[in-house]
Structure 1
């Protein structure tokens, strides 16, 4: 018997799930198979397990994690510069970061997947892991781009409604947020941003690692992601809250915490997908009967 690999195996596959690294796990599923995938039962302890497994992946490939962490930090520095110079465009730049983020995250998903299979994560392979999934990723990114452009436009409208004398400076924005007299602006901006952020999160939380894992089409991946969020709303809200709090903490000071937190959450998100989605086992091919003997 082959000895077990000395790596974190991730969530235990169910009886009807294809084993990681098997030919069934590498091929693109047909529509019938994708329609039969099931959602795993989740508990409020699962997000903490995803974090633990993501931390193990990070420690197993620290150099790869450092590369992606510096990339995430660079995006945070760019976002901070835009907020200080042109705050009205902050949401638009944040949307651009949300578009670049999935491609960076796919490299981390690839590293976690390789480690799950008992293989060594490699930076070079992680940088090009998305090239075989360009069609599905392009469609998903297009959907996210439309949502984020609408989000950015809605943000500008909120500013224009409450600041009819012109767009405020960075100081003006900070004063507006912390001024009790502007609670209407804060409430509307929070509601609008929260709605769009929730929709983007619900579409992307499972779909991107799913595309990398099985090369599913973007629509199936997005619908599955929405099913996970709607089927386990409490757990996924907890996962979103954990991500939000950790990111907020990592942004102080100067966003340096993202060097560690970015790759950690990327690895953990892979385990969130693996823990939430169960693929059906491939159906065994029917045995072929041997040719009958010729008579006479």
Structure 2
């Protein structure tokens, strides 16, 4: 069971112990989703605001790069790699709802100021991963398409007809590698930095520890995120309006379950 943290936020990261990472059952992601849905219902307007932002960015990327899908796929995938950072406002909505502080959108828009330095460092790390993945994505396309890059319809046709299994295997294999790295360092990173003013390095190490201690639950959680994201894409990003806020709120509750309270708060 997660334990609410009702104590004031730490003013700095000096003296903070390494987070107490806990073991959770493999079925925990289902509970996180249920709690996330409860937050979404309790705070629909600010939550859906972020959902529209996710959907709008996805639609814009697809529209602008319709005839150069090698860029669309890289940017869309990179968009997902940066998801933990973009969902920061959703974590804050859940935190405020937990503390009965209301569902105002305004305070969530600048929540990064609470721990700007460490959150900025984490954003740089994700940004570097995104740039490397974008370059790797283009290289994969160049290896398999020496004459002309496919447009959106051509790419989808090949995926649906499975005419190029080598390309699909390599492309999604490389993407899975980068997604796994991001997932490992971001399971609880930003919620931890927001909630305790934790430093970025410790927060990322705690995320890796959570993954190492709970491989079954983390595998289920990763599959849930992938399935929900694919479902959102299959609706031409419209489904992301609801699905991304759901995942964002659920991530906050994952943090609550995976990381124990500070000793003074237990």
User: TM-score if structure 2 supplies the norm length?
Assistant: 0.91
State the partner residue of 2:126. 144
Alignment pair present for 1:67 and 2:49: yes
State the partner residue of 1:203. 185
Work out which of the residue numbers 106, 111, 115 in structure 2 matches 1:129. 111
Work out which of the residue numbers 228, 233, 242 in structure 2 matches 1:251. 233
Aligned length in residues: 265
Higher relative contact order (CA 8 A, sep 6+): 2
Q: 1:180 to 1:128 in 2, by over 3 A?
A: closer
Stretches of structure 1 that go unaligned for 5 or more consecutive residues are: 1-10, 14-18, 284-296
Distance apart, 1:119 and its partner CA: 1.9
Q: Does the Cα contact within 8 Å between 1:34 and 1:220 map onto a contact in 2?
A: no
The two structures, once aligned, show a CA RMSD in angstroms of 2.1
Stretches of structure 2 that go unaligned for 5 or more consecutive residues are: none
d(CA) in 1 for partners of 2:245, 2:161:
36
Q: 1:104 to 1:155 in 2, by over 3 A?
A: closer
Q: Does the Cα contact within 8 Å between 1:54 and 1:266 map onto a contact in 2?
A: yes
Work out which of the residue numbers 34, 39, 43 in structure 1 matches 2:17. 34
Q: What pairs with 1:91-240 in structure 2 (closer than 5 Å)?
A: 91-94=73-76, 97-98=79-80, 101-240=83-222
Give 4+ residue runs of structure 1 displaced > 6 Å after superposition: none
State the partner residue of 1:293. none
Q: 1:181 to 1:97 in 2, by over 3 A?
A: closer
Q: Which has more radius of gyration?
A: 1
Q: 1:172 to 1:252 in 2, by over 3 A?
A: closer
User: TM-score if structure 1 supplies the norm length?
Assistant: 0.82
d(CA) in 1 for partners of 2:28, 2:172:
28
